[in-house]
Amino acid sequence: MTRPYVLLSIAVSIDGYIDDTGPERLRLSNAADFDRVDQLRADSDAILIGAQTLRSDNPRLLVDSPDRRAARLAAGKPEYPLKVTVSAGGDLSPKLQFWHHGGDKLVYTTAAGAKRLVERLSNLADVVNLGAGVDFGAVLDDLGVRGVTRLMVEGGTRVHTALLAADLADELQMAVAPILIGTAGAPRFLAHATYPGAPNRRMRLQDVTQVGDVAVLRYFPKKSWSGVATQGRP
Ligand SMILES: NC(=O)c1ccc[n+]([C@@H]2O[C@H](COP(=O)([O-])OP(=O)(O)OC[C@H]3O[C@@H](n4cnc5c(N)ncnc54)[C@H](OP(=O)(O)O)[C@@H]3O)[C@@H](O)[C@H]2O)c1
């Protein structure tokens, strides 16, 4: 079974936060960087986001550029990438914008979550029951079977943490915005976890790009600087 290539995308403040504690979504990046992210979305077969980000930010998660959507169609792809979310509890309102824009939608959930979501989301999304828990290996296996070869993951903290802790991320693109947040209780990029090889394992820094006042760092988490896979090294 071929799992998709997994690209994590995140914008962080200088002090490592990805949002503040206000009710509105904090926009950390600049217009040019949002355009870069739009290209990443257009290059992906599917985009995944955690249920809590859906509830708190209520994103539409679209490819905004008509030219990029036209290029997808010309290449024989759907106009929009598949939109994917994960929820253990199934507490997702059918009113969220996510369900009402773009192309196909998919929810990975538990047996308990599926009981709530199948009825709530009928005609809005396919609901996949993964049993007792949402295991990201099982999610990637199923996406592979569906023909997804390139998956972009757009947060939040818990989802990125779970994928890195399970060593399932192939690439990380981190946009560092020149702001400080400093608010107690604001979410950080990653939570406490047992990361493979931490703290000695070093990711390969593939490149650094300046996008206006934002620095975009591109890492390959499973590779070291020399290009040798880090897993299993002393
Ligand atoms: N700056 C950025 O680039 C950026 C991007 C995205 C998000 N964010 C921010 O991130 C914050 C949300 O992050 P978050 O950590 O609270 O939530 P999250 O990662 O978006 O979603 C977590 C939810 O995913 C579901 N889930 C199911 N299985 C899981 C598993 N195995 N591992 C992890 N999650 C699983 C659970 O949903 P249920 O609770 O439904 O069971 C869980 O509560 C928001 O403040 C948002 O603005 C920032």
**Ligand 1 center from residue 157 Cα (angstroms):** 6
Q: What is the pTM of this model?
A: 0.95
**pLDDT tens sequence for the chain (234 residues):** 799 999 999 999 999 999 999 988 899 999 999 999 999 999 999 999 999 999 999 999 999 999 999 999 999 999 999 999 999 999 999 999 999 999 999 999 999 999 999 999 999 999 999 999 999 999 999 999 999 999 999 999 999 999 999 999 999 999 999 999 999 999 999 999 999 999 999 999 999 999 999 999 999 999 887 655 655 444
Q: Is 160 exposed, middle or buried (0-12, 13-18, 19+ CB in 10 A)?
A: buried
Mutate-to-test residue for ligand 1 from 106, 158, 181, highest number of ligand atoms within 8 A of CB? 158
Please give the full DSSP string across 75-94, using - where no structure is assigned: TTS-SSPEEEEEESS----T
Q: Is the CB of 164 under 6 A from ligand 1?
A: no
Q: Is the CB of 161 under 6 A from ligand 1?
A: no
Q: Is the CB of 88 under 6 A from ligand 1?
A: yes
CB atoms within 10 A of CB 195: 15
Q: Is the CB of 155 under 6 A from ligand 1?
A: yes
CB atoms within 10 A of CB 174: 15
Q: Is the CB of 50 under 6 A from ligand 1?
A: yes
Question: Pick from 153, 147, 103: which is nearest to 124 by CA?
Answer: 103
